[in-house]
Structure 1
Amino acid sequence: MIERLATEGRVCLVDPDDDEVAEWRRVVNYAKRHGLEPPGKRIEKVGLGSRELEMRLVEGPHPNSRSQRPKDGASAVPVPARLSSLHPAVVALRDDEGQLVIPPVLRRRSLLLLQALAAEAVQRGYEVRRGRSYYSRREGGVDVLVDGFAHTVTVRQEFPQSTNPARAARVVVELDHGRSGRPGRWRDRKGRSLEDALGLILGEIEARALEDARRRDSEEQARRSVQFTGERPSRRRRSE
């Protein structure tokens, strides 16, 4: 695809079905995450009516790319103001009275955060599904799948037992499978709210997925190498 774009400048799909559109989105997102775009250029997807989809190679970084974002890490992920038009995974959590059992104000904020993450993940071509069972009824979240790797995003009240109103009003977002040296927990901080950190959270999911993909490829290459170089059983000639 990159070679075609570099030569032709654009690739147009006429009357693609949903599976084709989803596959091309995955290809484009893979190219972006793995740095396959030509230097100084980016791939853009453009809908031409309801029956055509075009990929173009254009000059310059995307306006919302990390290099163009504020240096304080502010996120470009929009957060809805209302709990409407929700992703099915967020709807399932909203309707589950046994999960995310926290004060209503905090529950509403948590659902809005998860909806923003889910909507942005889908926009980037990823799958979002209902989260798994959690250790505590005070938790809730969704799973974001990138290149076949699932990452659970969990939201919970950080200090549910606190009598300090300010501490009791805090929520925290966490990624599963904590890894040494990698961020896995986000909370409100001076100068940056959780809403401003959503882009960083999705970026961390993408970084982990890239690590997982490299690890998988390395393990697969090692397995093939062992199979290729493995000793074959020796054959003994029968004595006559």
Structure 2
Amino acid sequence: MPDRRARAQELVERLVAEGRVRIADPDDEVAEWRRVVNYAKCHGLKPAGKRIERVPYGGPGLGLFLAEGSHPNARNQRPKAAEELTPVLARLGHLHPVVAALKDDERRLVMPSALRRRSLLPLQDLTVEAVRRGHEVRKAGSSFYPREGGVDVAVDGFACTVSVRQEFPSSTNPERSARLVVELAHGLTDRPGR
């Protein structure tokens, strides 16, 4: 659709010039603007190294801006081959200071010792890989229940808490009581990623 392409190019030019564009049109116009944004994304009309982000803008409106880099969920951000995946360690050794402090804290990860060790393994893996990639790992700022423990990983200044806990601590079923949950706290919603 030539009209949509022209509108998409015009929108990108406005975003480059103004930084933010607010659309306060009725719902049917906002729907068309969403299609224009999708057209710009799908046809590579956005500037190199940028992405177009949409945010709600009071009622039926829409706010648009250019953000740096590709979207965190973009296909180019995902591992491309199995060798890029990080294998889970089989034993704890050479602990990162944050994980070592968590291991020594008897008030955290209150659970059977075998589960406690299994809880520390993915946190150690995560910290090693994060540091290898140049990210900062620090003591989790969130408060945890005694059966939980976690670390904060800061990527480009944005910190995210990763926690581990026993999923069914009160279960009498040994299989259920041995299940662990790893959660990634989302900063924008109350829903964690499991």
TM-score by length of 1: 0.46
Q: Distance in 2 between matches of 1:179 and 1:167?
A: 31
* Alignment match, 1:66: 79
| Kept after mapping to 1: 8 A contact 2:163/2:184 | yes
* Alignment match, 1:34: 69
Partner-residue secondary structure (3-state), 1:141: strand
| Kept after mapping to 1: 8 A contact 2:102/2:149 | yes
Paired AA for residue 128 in structure 2 = A
1:17-57 Cα shifts (integer Å, max 9, x gaps)? xxxxxxxxxxxxx99x935xxxxxxxxxxxxxxxxxxxxxx
* Alignment match, 1:95: 104
* Alignment match, 1:185: 193
What are the equivalent positions in structure 2 for 1:48-197 lying under 5 Å apart?
66-69=79-82, 76-177=85-186, 184-186=192-194
- How far residue 82 of structure 1 moved from its aligned partner, in angstroms, is 1.9
Q: Which has the higher contact order (CA 8 A, sep 6+)?
A: 1
- How far residue 86 of structure 1 moved from its aligned partner, in angstroms, is 0.7
Q: Distance in 2 between matches of 1:99 and 1:133?
A: 12
Paired AA for residue 154 in structure 1 = S
| Kept after mapping to 1: 8 A contact 2:186/2:193 | no
| Kept after mapping to 2: 8 A contact 1:172/1:185 | no
| Kept after mapping to 2: 8 A contact 1:94/1:111 | yes
* Alignment match, 1:216: none
Q: Distance in 2 between matches of 1:144 and 1:127?
A: 6
Structure 1 pair 66–183 and aligned structure 2 pair: CA distance change class (3 A): farther
Count residues in correspondence: 124
| Kept after mapping to 2: 8 A contact 1:134/1:140 | no
Paired AA for residue 82 in structure 1 = R
Q: Distance in 2 between matches of 1:109 and 1:149?
A: 27
Structure 1 pair 133–122 and aligned structure 2 pair: CA distance change class (3 A): same
Q: Distance in 2 between matches of 1:90 and 1:105?
A: 16
- How far residue 179 of structure 1 moved from its aligned partner, in angstroms, is 5.2
| Kept after mapping to 2: 8 A contact 1:128/1:142 | yes
- How far residue 83 of structure 1 moved from its aligned partner, in angstroms, is 1.5
| Kept after mapping to 1: 8 A contact 2:167/2:179 | yes
1:85-131 Cα shifts (integer Å, max 9, x gaps)? 01000000000001111111111011011000000011111000111
Paired AA for residue 81 in structure 2 = Q
Work out the percentage of aligned pairs sharing the same amino acid.
56
1:167-223 Cα shifts (integer Å, max 9, x gaps)? 00000011123656x98433xxxxxxxxxxxxxxxxxxxxxxxxxxxxxxxxxxxxx
Give the stretch that moved more between structures: 131-140 or 166-175.
131-140
Structure 1 pair 121–183 and aligned structure 2 pair: CA distance change class (3 A): farther
Paired AA for residue 138 in structure 1 = R
* RMSD (CA atoms): 3.0
